[in-house]
């Protein structure tokens, strides 16, 4: 009888331990970080097809997203599909692409992320004024990226931003914190 109580007590302890681990894992994945895989070439040369990343989901709860940060957001027309792009335009700014150059508030943006001059300005061929909670994003491989220039992606609302790319965990030879500047 004592042996049965001891076994039940041991099993109960293990069950509680497993439930605590599952609960903590859920909290971390929901509020702190999430693993995601880069699919496609739109962020090359910064990120490559097949890279595995940890997305920081907590920092935007305490601060606003900044220009040039790499963010992850859901694609609105396909369930369980997420895009990863670089923030170019911030709330309240005007954005336009002309002759392959990004203009913010009428001034050329000083950046070197694009691999080559943009061939297609898309909807950014016309001046876009961002609202108080809107962001304009571009892929680094601009001529091979569906981003804010594409009407199906468009400008992003603050609430759409899942988080920012934080750490590359695969491939191992490129393991490390992702630089956003």
Determine whether 157 is an active site residue: no
> CATH code for 2-177?
2.10.109.10
Domain edges within the chain: 2-177
pLDDT tens digits along 6-62: 788 888 888 888 888 787 777 666 666 677 777 777 888 788 788 888 888 888 888
Q: In this predicted model, what pLDDT tens digit does every residue of 50-98 receive, in sequence order?
A: 888 888 888 888 899 999 999 998 887 777 778 899 999 999 999 999 9
9 is catalytic: no
Considering the candidates 57, 85, 145, 148, report the single residue annotated as catalytic: 85
Instruction: Identify the three-state secondary structure at position 17.
Output: helix
- Ordered DSSP codes for 163-181: EEEEEEEESGGG-EEPP--
**C-alpha to C-alpha distance for 171 and 18, rounded to whole angstroms:** 30
Q: Sorting pLDDT into bands at 50, 70 and 90, what band is 134?
A: very high
């Amino acid at each position: 009888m004592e042996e049965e109580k001891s076994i039940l007590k041991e099993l109960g302890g293990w069950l509680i331990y497993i439930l605590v681990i599952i609960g903590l894992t859920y909290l971390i994945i929901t509020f702190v970080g999430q693993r995601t895989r880069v699919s496609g070439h739109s962020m090359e040369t910064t990120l490559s097809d097949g890279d595995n990343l940890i997305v920081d989901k907590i920092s935007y709860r305490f601060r606003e997203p900044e220009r040039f940060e790499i963010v992850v957001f859901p694609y609105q027309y396909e369930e369980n599909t997420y895009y990863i792009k670089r923030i170019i335009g911030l709330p309240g700014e005007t954005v336009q692409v002309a002759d392959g150059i990004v203009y913010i508030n009428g001034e050329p943006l000083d950046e070197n992320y694009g691999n080559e001059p943009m061939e297609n300005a898309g909807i950014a061929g016309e001046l876009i004024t961002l609202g108080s909670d809107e962001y304009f994003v571009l892929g680094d491989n601009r001529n091979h990226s569906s981003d804010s220039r594409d009407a199906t992606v468009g400008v992003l609302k603050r609430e759409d931003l899942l988080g920012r790319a934080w750490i590359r965990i695969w491939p191992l030879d490129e393991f490390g914190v992702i630089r956003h500047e």
